[in-house]
Structure 1
């Protein structure tokens, strides 16, 4: 994926994005989505085909329909990328192809939260995956890093509460060590990209993502585009009030999404009731066995989750929600309660909300970071005029 003469136009970039997400996709569908004539579509796709980024796939034509159509798809082996998901404790990485399909993965525990230590961990992961895949020099096209917090221009981590960071030029630091382009993104945004590309909602042009884990996250896709604002990364979905009699979150909000659904809060609630510390897996095991105190906590979480999904469906006007995150196992003991709560807060004549549960763990987050790197590589690509 080298450079050529002219910067890619917005239309060419949109074409590349659609083929990445939806390929193999017919030219007729691409023309409809982009508002392009067949001639314009041919002109825009030609450089991608000539440089081996796109391929034409054969599609048999119905009897008497003339020549078979040739849908466009990406050549998945045209580049290799690494995506890294950073948490407060670990760095989880995935090596992917051009469609963000996972080829290998690796994980490292963070020694501490010092910037230099985290950079060392990410660099080590990238080198480990490159060596395992026997990548030649120049074969790695880019690295994406997702992080819980705020990111400016996909270059600087302006705020990362789980790491205690402010204004860290992480992309520059990593590029100086790795010698390849690096793109940063908020982790929930990157996960939403992952769900759009290859998750259970792939092909749906409007859906929401709710993540349950160390915190509570919310992502949104509208008109086939991931929605971001300057406040993306603040975790505003975690402040949504859900239960007026619930516990307080760290910011003093009673019964908000973070207080009701985050792993630390759920563990703290049952721990207080039992008079001892409990792990998240123990909370779920006790609830599954019918322990009354554990069931009380997980049932309250289920009702809160259902209400949150109803708010999202009602206000964003989506009927598909993907539930993900390291705490998604809550669904096993509270899913029915959540669905009942969701139904209560919806108009009975409203379209039923489809809930997909993505339990792939950090692999989806890391592949989302890789997808961000792929998008960044395409944005920087220069094509012949």
Structure 2
């Protein structure tokens, strides 16, 4: 680790605001940076000087400008030194741990996955420590670890409840910190994904933005004023209570017509199994629906209409500039995207602006990257959106 990288912390509030602005929106000229932050030229110089000296920021050539044409420092934009630190992000599922190493700007530079053979918290922490040690041998400048878990997380440290792992009140951050010696941030996986997309992805620069995920569960995150809106119930699986069709299918638990019963992969597979007696993968159900197999086609059509209804409801009430649809279940859009879009239009005012719906083909490494962004925000820049 370089001496400059080691001297980043602590940042003053003013230095932190400069660093975040350049990190998310840079490279930025000093004039633009001062305008965005409402600072005088003198104040900006005072705040940027220690950031440049500590190697967090660097002056870069202005795009389209030759070296001969650049006269003096003020014409050179500022950018972050993206590879000055590395960050670990882990996404824990029921049977796997997905790991990534990212730069300061959340670009993934390495992936490392391991099967999860136990849900015992100490053994899970041991596995995370082993993965950290393996990655640290190749990426020695690790600044911290972010961990994403499906469920309720308190204080970005304790997993209060995780139905997938059968955990209650597990101090996961402490367990991993004790084994790795690195600072650790734990967060609900959807919240972490929303933060990553707000800072570095589809929601970058937007004032109002929504992330909707479909897959093992239903996830929802709202961004207003460029910041994620935290809510006490956001980790509680609200999709079970968002009724889209009161006459819709049942989940194994008996919930009828909810977002969960219509859209989650397990519920779609359950419907096909109940009708045919066969275990069928989600991907195979999508292929059968395209081929015109009556039962898969009906289930996928119901799911598409449910998704369109859900997106329209979100657009009607949250009024976002963009909705990002992500998660393991987004293959639904490839098969029945037109049905989704038709349903959105039917459930919107005829004069309403079209919904900007972006679909992100993602895997569990994207969720792990979201956890790494939490580490960037909290551990390096001291920014906690929640």
TM-score, L = length of structure 1: 0.90
1:105 paired residue number: 111
Question: Which residue of the other structure, out of 2, 7, 10, is the alignment partner of 2:6?
Answer: 2
Q: Is the contact made by 1:92 and 1:362 (CA closer than 8 Å) also made in structure 2?
A: yes
Corresponding pairs, count: 376
Partner of 2:370: 368
Contact 1:306–1:342 (CA<8 Å) still a contact in 2? yes
Are 1:61 and 1:69, in contact at CA under 8 Å, matched by a contact in 2? no
**Which residue number corresponds to residue 20 of structure 2?**
17
Greater RCO, CA 8 A, separation 6+ = 1
- Is the contact between residue 249 and residue 256 of structure 2 (CA under 8 Å) also seen in structure 1? yes
Q: How far off its partner does 1:344 sit?
A: 1.2
**How much does 1:151 deviate?**
1.3
Question: Distance between the aligned counterparts of 2:363 and 2:309, measured in 1?
Answer: 24
Secondary structure of the corresponding residue to residue 167 of structure 2:
coil
1:87 to 88, 93, 106: 93
Question: Is 1:277 matched with 2:283?
Answer: no
Within the alignment, does 1:50 sit opposite 2:53 as a pair?
yes
Q: Secondary structure at the match of 1:166?
A: strand
User: The residue matched to 1:93 in structure 2 has which SS?
Assistant: strand
After superposition, give the CA deviation of every residue in 1:246-272 in whole Å (9 maximum; x if it has no partner): 123466542111111101001011111
CA drift at 1:237: 4.3
**Helix, strand or coil for the counterpart of 1:162?**
coil
**SS at the partner of 2:170?**
coil
CA distance in 1, matches of 2:194, 2:265: 21
Residues 1:348 and 1:15: Cα distance change in structure 2 (over 3 Å):
farther
2:211 aligned residue = 209
Distance 1:51 1:336, change over 3 A: same
Instruction: Provide the alpha-carbon RMSD of the alignment.
Output: 2.4
**Separation in structure 1 between the aligned mates of residue 258 and residue 29 of structure 2, nearest angstrom:** 45
CA contact (8 A) 1:217 1:238 kept: no
Kept in 2, the 8 Å contact 1:199–1:358? The answer is no
Instruction: Give a deviation string over 1:350-384, Cα, whole Å, max 9, x none.
Output: 22111111113112111111111111222459xxx
Cα shift at 1:60: 5.2
**Which runs of structure 2 are paired with 1:312-331 in the superposition (5 Å)?**
312-331=314-333
Whether the aligned pair in 2 keeps the contact of 1:60 and 1:69 (CA below 8 Å) is no
Matched, 1:170 2:172: yes
**Could you tell me how far 1:229 is from its partner in structure 2?**
2.4
Unaligned runs of 5+ in 1: none
Secondary structure of the residue aligned to 1:158 is strand
- Report SS of the residue matched to 2:99: strand
Distance apart, 1:165 and its partner CA? 0.6
1:30 deviates by 3.3
CA apart distance, 1:4: 7.3
Relative distance call for 1:152 and 1:293 in structure 2 (3 A) is same
Shift of residue 122 of structure 1? 1.3
Find the aligned partners of 1:296 and 1:33 in 2 and give their Cα distance.
Answer: 51
Secondary structure (helix, strand or coil) at the match of 1:359 reads: coil
CA distance in 2, matches of 1:349, 1:39: 49
Q: In the alignment, does 2:22 pair up with 1:36?
A: no
The 8 Å contact of residues 149 and 162 in structure 2, kept in 1 or not, is answered as yes
Q: 1:28 to 1:245 in 2, by over 3 A?
A: farther
Distance 1:18 1:232, change over 3 A: farther
Q: Which residue of 2 aligns with 1:153?
A: 155
With structure 2 as the length reference, what TM-score do the two structures score?
0.90
